[in-house]
């Protein structure tokens, strides 16, 4: 199980446009990694749209957002376009990254990402872990926690 202040598990995954992204790409800035179950479902859409609507606030805090689910890049492209999402969605089709972060749920042959989030600090360490996420208020919760964490980080 992951703990605060440990190095975030590394990953390399593809986005909706088949571009590769790695944790290393985000060193030196704050990063939110949010795992979610399925593109184009009510809770996941609510959460993604709240993050979208607050995207400028996250930018002002030098923070990037990455969404990860077990959906395909093609599914992410449709979801991202339908909801005008300004942040990256990564396809963890094998569930290996979700598993490394303790966010993989398996039920027989089915597997999907649980709704968990992580704030990663500029040095690549886990600054905050969310194992219980309410889609409608999570973006505001992340913003408040980011501000407090950034003040303490200096």
Q: Is 75 helix (H, G, I), strand (E, B) or coil?
A: helix
Beta bridge partners, 63, equal 30
Q: Is 73 helix (H, G, I), strand (E, B) or coil?
A: helix
Q: Which of 152, 103, 92, 104 is nearest to 125 (CA)?
A: 152
Two tokens, residue 81: 């376009």
Catalytic annotation present for 44: yes
* Catalytic residue (one of 44, 65, 97, 127): 44
Strand order in the sheet with 126-130: 20-22, 12-15, 88-91, 63-69, 30-35, 117-120, 126-130
Tally Cβ neighbours within 10 Å of residue 79: 23
- By annotation, the residues acting in catalysis are 44
């Amino acid at each position: 199980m992951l703990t605060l202040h440990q190095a975030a598990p590394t990953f390399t995954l593809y986005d909706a446009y088949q571009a590769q992204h790695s944790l290393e790409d985000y060193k030196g800035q704050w990063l939110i990694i949010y795992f979610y179950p399925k593109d184009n479902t009510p809770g996941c859409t609510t959460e993604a749209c709240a993050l979208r609507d607050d995207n400028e606030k996250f930018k002002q805090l030098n923070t990037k957002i990455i969404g990860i689910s077990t959906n395909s890049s093609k599914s992410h492209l449709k979801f991202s376009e339908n909801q005008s999402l300004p942040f990256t969605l990564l396809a963890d089709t094998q569930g290996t990254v979700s598993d490394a972060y303790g966010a993989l749920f398996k039920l027989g042959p089915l597997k999907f990402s649980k709704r968990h989030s992580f704030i990663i600090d500029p040095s690549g360490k886990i600054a905050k872990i969310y194992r219980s996420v309410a889609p409608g208020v999570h973006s505001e919760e992340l913003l408040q926690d980011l501000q407090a964490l950034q003040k303490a980080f200096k």
